[in-house]
């Protein structure tokens, strides 16, 4: 079996599972946020169930519109907060919270071998830790909160093998953008993307989180990495419960195997209006911008902020650009203060926000007006994703985003730091 099949089999009463098979799968963790939780709570109430199956396995995080931007968002969070108090469900209030997919691994709530479902499409982020993690609709979440199980079809697995040594400024964001550019937004439809190869082994956990996070942008059900020493070191002081590490069989059956030579990949930029519209930054020409956003569940971790600071230190944000930097969690924020990154950002002319998804989904803290262009380290650049349907979003890694903030147009960091 593949890695995903091993984990799914372990969470059923079967010794072996195969792609296309329908299963009832036990879950280790259920997640919802301030947009999706109220719907799940409403459906849970409609079932007539009094208590969730296990309050210690359900987490709710207000992160999309928080701190509350208006009355409607405040009401959404109130519904979630009151349900969590009533049921004893794990809840992270403003001041303790972070962007959910940055926060949960930090808190040791997601561990290797877990089956995790979330009412958010980027739940696949946790595959970086060797978990089977996938997004589901709020009604599925409601059923899981009541029963502790999900009903699903076993997905096929595509193995992606990354060979070679990546060049300077090339990280997980570039590898995944390049991959999506190659296979398309439906290239891994309802499949598991299993990332492997020496280039992936060399990636930090932060880089792996970024790649797993964007598996959904290729249509994948999950994006997964094998557990290695880096993974074990990451969870060593975070895990609060027992976990299992699973390995794919050497004779596991894959739907496809795709090989990439990363030494040929330079920093990538996804042009509007698709993550698959990826190009090397050197081939873009003169594209002026109005805004830069560095953060999100894709690239809001400490390594991302360090990359941005490396480019911004001693430089100024272009007078025609708004640069917004959003740490992914309170832990990342505090770490950035300790490492004196926040001072670098403020001296450069950037605005630094408390953790929030905010501008990524056009929520708040950086909405685009008609005709404006933004370079963002986020995961989606669909029409109207960050504001006006007449605006444009370009996806890039934190170094490219920071360099573009300084130049006032899309450039690679080498053009600024050389």
Nearest to 118 by CA among 190, 192, 32, 39: 32
**Assign residue 116 a region: left if phi > 0, alpha if psi is -120 to 50, beta otherwise?**
beta
Nearest to 332 by CA among 310, 356, 315, 312: 356
Residues of the chain with pLDDT under 70: none
pLDDT of residue 417: 81
Q: Report, in angstroms and rounded to the nearest whole number, the Rg of the chain calculated over CA atoms.
A: 20
* Residue 359 DSSP one-character state: G
pLDDT of residue 105: 98
Distance CA 210, CA 123 (A): 12
Backbone φ and ψ for 62, nearest 5 degrees, come out as -85, 110
pLDDT of residue 128: 98
- Is the full-model pTM beyond 0.75? yes
Distance CA 290, CA 374 (A): 6
Distance CA 344, CA 311 (A): 10
pLDDT of residue 121: 97
**Domains delineated in the chain:** 3-260 (3.30.499.10), 269-417 (3.30.499.10)
Strand partners, 118: 31, 135
pLDDT of residue 13: 87
Distance CA 395, CA 398 (A): 10
pLDDT of residue 112: 98
Distance CA 94, CA 273 (A): 32
Cα first-last separation, the chain: 48
* pLDDT tens-digit map of 404-414: 999 999 999 99
* pLDDT tens-digit map of 54-86: 999 999 999 999 899 999 999 999 999 999 999
pLDDT of residue 379: 97
pLDDT of residue 386: 96
Preceding omega of 67 cis (within 30 degrees of 0)? yes
Distance CA 278, CA 272 (A): 9
Q: What per-residue string of b and e applies to 180-193 under the rule 16 or more CB within 10 Å gives b?
A: bbebbbebbeebbb
């Amino acid at each position: 079996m593949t890695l995903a099949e091993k984990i799914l089999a372990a969470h059923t009463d079967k010794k072996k599972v195969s792609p296309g098979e329908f299963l009832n799968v036990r879950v280790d963790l259920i997640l919802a946020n301030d947009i999706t939780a109220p719907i799940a709570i409403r459906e849970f109430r409609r079932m007539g169930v009094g208590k969730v199956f296990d309050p210690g396995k359900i987490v709710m995080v207000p992160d999309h519109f928080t701190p509350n931007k208006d009355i409607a968002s405040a009401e959404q969070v109130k519904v979630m907060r009151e349900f969590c108090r009533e049921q004893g469900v794990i809840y992270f209030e403003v001041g303790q919270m972070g962007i959910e997919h940055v926060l949960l691994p930090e808190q040791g709530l997601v561990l290797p071998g877990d089956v995790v479902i979330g009412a958010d499409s980027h739940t696949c982020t946790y595959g970086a830790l060797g978990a089977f993690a996938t997004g589901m609709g709020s009604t599925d979440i409601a059923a899981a909160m009541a029963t502790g199980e999900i009903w699903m079809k076993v997905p096929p697995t595509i193995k992606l093998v990354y060979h070679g040594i990546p060049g300077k400024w090339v990280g997980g964001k570039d590898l995944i953008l390049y991959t999506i550019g190659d296979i398309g937004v439906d290239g891994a439809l309802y499949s598991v993307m299993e990332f492997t190869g020496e280039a992936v082994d060399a990636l930090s956990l932060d880089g792996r989180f970024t790649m797993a996070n964007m598996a959904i942008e290729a249509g994948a059900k999950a994006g997964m990495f094998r557990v290695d020493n880096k993974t074990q070191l990451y969870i060593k002081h975070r895990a609060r419960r027992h976990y299992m590490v699973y390995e794919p069989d050497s004779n596991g059956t894959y739907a496809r195997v795709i090989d990439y030579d990363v030494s040929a990949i330079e920093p990538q930029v996804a042009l509007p209006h698709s993550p698959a519209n990826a190009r090397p930054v050197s081939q873009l020409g003169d594209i002026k911008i109005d805004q830069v956003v560095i953060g999100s569940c894709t690239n809001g971790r400490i390594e991302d902020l360090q990359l941005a600071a490396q480019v911004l230190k001693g430089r100024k944000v272009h007078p025609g650009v708004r640069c917004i930097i959003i740490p992914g969690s309170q832990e990342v924020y505090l770490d950035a203060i300790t490492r004196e990154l926040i001072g670098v950002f403020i001296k450069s002319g950037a605005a630094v926000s408390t953790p929030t998804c905010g501008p990524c989904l056009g929520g708040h803290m950086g909405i685009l007006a008609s005709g404006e262009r933004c370079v963002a380290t986020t995961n989606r650049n669909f029409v109207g994703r960050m504001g006006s349907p007449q605006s444009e979003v370009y996806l890039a890694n934190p170094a490219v985003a920071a360099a573009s903030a300084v130049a006032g147009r899309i450039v690679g960091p080498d053009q600024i730091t050389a």
